[in-house]
Structure 1
């Protein structure tokens, strides 16, 4: 999965009720065929799940999502990406599907280019946690997603990649990074793997934010207390009147695990991280082999 992740956090709407976890409709390793009832909502991660290495959604996948939508199933994109990275995805999709961005920290409506909800980490807590992590982790550097993920601020030592040179991206000292609420706090440290780094950060932040990761490059993403992909998706599902049991979710990385556990049916792509595979009820093909499309095509087939 790509590193392209932003940040958010925060607050009262993070207590969305959790639904029961159910197995995938076809049994582990299968793709299902001729489901008697299509899911009322399909939620899918992007990078590493729906999107390929070329940063594109395939024509096959776009067509299947369109068919699912036409059959009455709501499509929701649930991603770690910030809002500002979404246009490249929508350029390859047949409709402006609602998005849960920043690992649950933002609900974004692309049709109106409007952030409907956001949950941010408050400045005082940002400052406290960064100082706490800096004292415990040698060489750690930070970045923050601000303005609901429309802008990024980062320390001078931060390795800027996809945002380099953009007006929405700006270097600043740590004191300035923590002056405004952030929908996500990002941390990197030299020579530390993502799984190991998340465990270390968890021991430092003590539940005051939610650390996770969606890459294998040592990047840790932190959202506000209680904010995950599951809480963001649960908020959207409740607004649509859809129970967790009627949700089918796809993912590939640890930041997808809460969503995969919350949804009534859950599927990991074959290239998924072990934690995502363990949380899912089914396994489908990899993102490069259009695994989401393959699974949904089988659901759309008439029962024999």
Structure 2
């Protein structure tokens, strides 16, 4: 065993004898791959003994009339819940579809034959590189000047200064670069939704549906958990992917499953956070597995923390419990959402939370603190989703208004902070859009379409927010 290289991981069958052998090998510092995993119990036991890799045999499992990707997803969830460092190797993949599905289900890597790799690259080269990407490169523009196209096929004519131009990335004048739009990431409260925190303006629905019809991914990226946006998503039937709980969860609505494993708080960390919050007379919700939970004893504080209509709307989709402790014990906590906090109390709570290692803290509303696992952010979640979909950051347009949006506003190739947003959010974005009360999403996207697709006959819109903000750096999230 002393001669085994650190880069070698010995394959051991995941049987009773094999699990005992894995424990012996791990005690000696030898890397281990738990092989021949066909069930969730085998996966759990392999995680428990500290296997470095777990290798479900995808094609063999499928031949047993069992869904291998459901198994991979379940094992990935176990790894996330326990905070284990184990990785999943999807083995015995016999075609590209199995490879793709395994990676989408949560596998960290795959084993494939060389001819499958050649097949994969061959399929990629046969696909148009602009599929699902809306080009925005058509013409030169000057500040606060537009062009309009007559219904004939003649050249564009100078028109009145009604549409504010969508500025080239990183510049203030000149020619629009060959930018593409493959994804639009949208915060909800204070950004896409109206003042009631429930309604998507009809004009925004119209333009987003049009873009989705052209293959652009429309992705809500919100601090809410999935269960708190059922009404809002009902207005957006063309949305397939969701980023929720500030990036802890990335979910595929059409498949009803995570796109990538959720990034949740380990059980000990969640208990520490609860111990900090429990003595304070504040409202805090627990977001777990897409649902929101609130202790009954904090119901009155919760109601005082929001406008009456918004509070009633949230409570209609929130589960009331006597205690969160049983929920914390089962794991899978995406976020603590703390509300109704006075400034002095907020400073004290934040100071105590910062003493707990490996946490991420942010805020989306006044008197609010949001706590997730270290590294969780909207930018990180969008980057993970973009990697699955094959989308580049430069092809993403992001809209937000608050501090929990800053990471994605810095990361996306084109970003807009709402005029009603915080100063920090506006400093992080490249541009400012009209406020959510002024239909900022629809106005900005219509400008984008009108200024960069002059063949479309659209009514002019007035957008006074012509000046882009300076780039405040980048953040990988």
Structure 2-normalised TM-score? Answer: 0.52
Tell me if structure 1 keeps the 8 A contact 2:179–2:394. no
Tell me if structure 2 keeps the 8 A contact 1:143–1:155. no
Matches within 5 A, 1:64-213: 64-116=207-259, 117-132=261-276, 138-140=280-282, 142-146=284-288, 148-154=289-295, 156-158=297-299, 159=302, 161=311, 162-164=313-315, 169-173=319-323, 175-181=325-331, 182-188=333-339, 190-192=341-343, 196=347, 200=351, 203-206=354-357, 208-213=358-363
Q: Within 2, Cα distance between the matches of 1:243 and 1:249? A: 13
CA offset at residue 91 of structure 1?
A: 2.1
2:114 is aligned to none
1:274 aligns with 2:423: yes
Tell me if structure 1 keeps the 8 A contact 2:397–2:415. yes
Tell me if structure 2 keeps the 8 A contact 1:155–1:174. no
2:408 is aligned to 259
Q: Within 1, Cα distance between the matches of 2:292 and 2:233? A: 19
1:17 is aligned to none
SS state at 1:86 partner:
helix
Structure 1-normalised TM-score? Answer: 0.79
Which structure has the larger Rg over C-alpha atoms?
A: 2
1:39 aligns with 2:176: no
CA offset at residue 75 of structure 1?
A: 1.4
In structure 2, the CA distance between the partners of 1:257 and 1:170, relative to structure 1 (3 Å rule), is same
Q: Within 2, Cα distance between the matches of 1:227 and 1:134? A: 23
1:53 aligns with 2:195: yes
In structure 2, the CA distance between the partners of 1:104 and 1:164, relative to structure 1 (3 Å rule), is same
CA offset at residue 187 of structure 1?
A: 2.7
In structure 2, the CA distance between the partners of 1:219 and 1:155, relative to structure 1 (3 Å rule), is farther
SS state at 1:90 partner:
helix
Q: Within 2, Cα distance between the matches of 1:194 and 1:282? A: 34
CA offset at residue 260 of structure 1?
A: 0.8
Q: Within 1, Cα distance between the matches of 2:250 and 2:370? A: 17
In structure 2, the CA distance between the partners of 1:292 and 1:203, relative to structure 1 (3 Å rule), is same
CA offset at residue 256 of structure 1?
A: 0.4
Q: Within 1, Cα distance between the matches of 2:436 and 2:386? A: 25
1:230-267 superposed Cα distances (whole Å, 9 cap, x missing partner): 11111111111112122111100001011111111111
1:49-73 superposed Cα distances (whole Å, 9 cap, x missing partner): 0110231111110111122223332
Q: Within 2, Cα distance between the matches of 1:157 and 1:263? A: 38
Q: Within 1, Cα distance between the matches of 2:188 and 2:393? A: 20
Tell me if structure 2 keeps the 8 A contact 1:198–1:211. no
CA offset at residue 153 of structure 1?
A: 3.9
Considering Cα pairs closer than 8 Å and 6+ residues apart, tell me whether 1 or 2 has the greater RCO.
1
SS state at 2:326 partner:
helix
SS state at 1:157 partner:
helix
1:290 aligns with 2:452: no
Q: Within 2, Cα distance between the matches of 1:134 and 1:151? A: 17
Q: Give me the CA root mean square deviation.
A: 3.2
SS state at 2:293 partner:
strand
Q: Within 2, Cα distance between the matches of 1:229 and 1:221? A: 13
CA offset at residue 109 of structure 1?
A: 2.1
Tell me if structure 2 keeps the 8 A contact 1:107–1:118. yes
Structure 1: runs of 5+ lacking an equivalent: 1-8, 14-24
1:224 aligns with 2:366: no
In structure 2, the CA distance between the partners of 1:88 and 1:164, relative to structure 1 (3 Å rule), is closer
Higher helix share: 2
Q: Within 2, Cα distance between the matches of 1:197 and 1:284? A: 35
Tell me if structure 1 keeps the 8 A contact 2:225–2:291. yes
Tell me if structure 2 keeps the 8 A contact 1:43–1:248. yes
In structure 2, the CA distance between the partners of 1:119 and 1:302, relative to structure 1 (3 Å rule), is same
